[in-house]
Amino acid sequence: MGQEKLLSPEEKERYLRQLSMADWSEEDQLKLKSLRVTVMGIGGAASSIINNLLLLGIGELVAIDQDRVELSNLNRQFIHNAGHLGMSKAESLMIYARRLNPHVKIVAKQVKIDETTIGETVAPETDLIIDTFDKWVSRSRVNRFAVKQKIPYLMAGVVSNCFYTALLHSPHTPCLNCLVGRFQSPSFVGSFQSAIFGINALPLAAMGAFSVAELIKYLKTGTFTNQFLFGSLYNTQQDIRFFTLFLSKHFIGISKEQGIEWGPFWNSEGIIKLKLSKDPTCRICGSE
Ligand SMILES: [Zn+2]
């Protein structure tokens, strides 16, 4: 995090209600103001998280997405709108963000993230990478980068009527690969690449709130809760079965130890929390 600045009178007024909370001080607000966050993807999950970051008043937001706004995005990607169809998601976000909170510095880039561009696009001094990409193979790339650069990494997303989120920072916590291990097999990835997956707008608000709350806890304490949150609005077996396909053996194992059975045995509504541990055999963070 960079040098703490002062709050302007206008900022003090804007954030008056949150500064009035018992557990939120001006020092906390300044920590937030010195925070530089990079968000991968400017879609539905990012809409919810970015919205919270803008409202709370982070210092700088860098957001990256290669796509343009399409009509089928608008059931959930609320930072875009019908007037922005065909516009790059990066440009659409710039317009939304400036209107919502002009105190936040915004950099939005239309870039396709691959092995080369990730290093050129993500500044090493970023305090946190938030990965909302919808393909595990893309997330795998971001995870490798975050582990290598030792940057805290928040992974969050929505599947159908469910959401999940975890704030990771190897070597203090496991990495994404310890938890979601099966996307590496090319035949497995290929079979899902072209499918259209259902996404409901409803879990987005909960996902955005719990994700950013993890960030706030880290900001205030400097430590990681090392937990994985999974929420489901309805007990829909199909949603859980799909999510289970991607989980690593290690993650399924630690879930079982904590009384959670993924797959056809699932019978839970609401939010579950799992304590995380590293997979000692992980080929991304295991050797550290
Ligand atoms: Zn790992």
pLDDT at 3: 52
State the pTM of this model. 0.93
How many whole angstroms from 288 Cα to the centroid of ligand 1?
Answer: 9
**Where residue 191 falls among pLDDT bands split at 50, 70, 90?**
low
Q: What is the mean pLDDT of the chain?
A: 92
9 inside domain = no
Helices (H), the chain: 9-14, 16-19, 26-33, 44-56, 89-100, 117-121, 136-149, 176-179, 186-193, 202-221, 237-244, 249-257
Q: Do 101 and 57 form a contact (C-beta atoms < 8 A)? A: yes
CA of 246 to the centre of ligand 1 (A): 15
Q: Is residue 204 part of a domain?
A: yes
pLDDT digits (tens, 9 = 90+) for 113-159: 999 999 999 998 999 999 999 888 899 999 999 999 999 999 999 98
State whether residue 105 is helix, strand or coil.
Answer: strand
Domain assignment present for residue 254? The answer is: yes
Rounded to the nearest angstrom, the distance between the alpha carbon of 225 and the centre of ligand 1 is 17
Q: Tell how far the Cα of 182 is from the centroid of ligand 1, in angstroms.
A: 13
Q: What is the 247 CA–ligand 1 centroid distance (Å)?
A: 13
User: Residue 27 C-alpha to ligand 1 middle, in angstroms?
Assistant: 34
Ligand 1 centroid vs 144 CA: distance in angstroms? Answer: 9
- Half-sphere exposure for 264 (CA within 13 Å, toward CB): 0
Cα 282 to ligand 1 centroid, rounded to whole Å: 5
171 Cα to the center of ligand 1, angstroms: 8
pLDDT score of 279 more than 90: yes
Tell me, in angstroms, the distance from the centre of ligand 1 to residue 223's CA: 18
**CATH code (residue 141):** 3.40.50.720
4 domain residue, yes or no: no
Half-sphere exposure in the Cβ direction for 148 (13 Å, CA): 12
pLDDT tens column, 254-273: 999 999 999 888 878 899 99
Q: Could you tell me if residue 281 is inside a domain?
A: no
Tell how far the Cα of 189 is from the centroid of ligand 1, in angstroms: 19
- Cα–Cα distances in angstroms (integers) from residue 245 to residues 26, 139, 257, in the given order: 44, 16, 19
Query: For the segment 11-53, what is each residue's pLDDT rounded down to a tens digit?
Result: 999 999 999 999 999 999 999 999 999 999 999 999 999 999 9
Structural domains counted in the chain: 1
Provide CB contacts within 8 A for 38, sequence distance 6+. Answer: 62, 63, 64, 122, 123, 126, 128, 129, 130
How many angstroms does the Cα of residue 287 sit away from the middle of ligand 1?
9
User: Tens of pLDDT along 99-108?
Assistant: 999 999 999 9
What's the gap in Å between 187 CA and the centre of ligand 1?
A: 22
**pLDDT of 226-247, one tens digit each?**
999 999 998 777 788 888 888 9
Q: State the distance from the centre of ligand 1 to the C-alpha of 155, rounded, in angstroms.
A: 13
Residue 197 has a pLDDT of 77
pLDDT for the residue 96: 98
Distance of CA 277 from the midpoint of ligand 1 (Å)? 9
CB neighbours of 223 closer than 8 A, spacing ≥ 6? none
For residue 202, report the distance from its CA to the centre of ligand 1, in Å: 31
Instruction: Tell me which residue range forms the domain holding 211.
Output: 30-275
Ligand 1 centroid to Cα of residue 212, in Å, is 22
Cis bond leading into 186, ω under 30°? no
The pLDDT of residue 183 is: 58
In a domain, 266, yes or no: yes
CA distance 76 to 5: 35
User: How far is ligand 1, taken at its centre, from the CA of residue 185, in Å?
Assistant: 17
Residue 240 located in a structural domain: yes
Q: Is residue 156 part of a domain?
A: yes
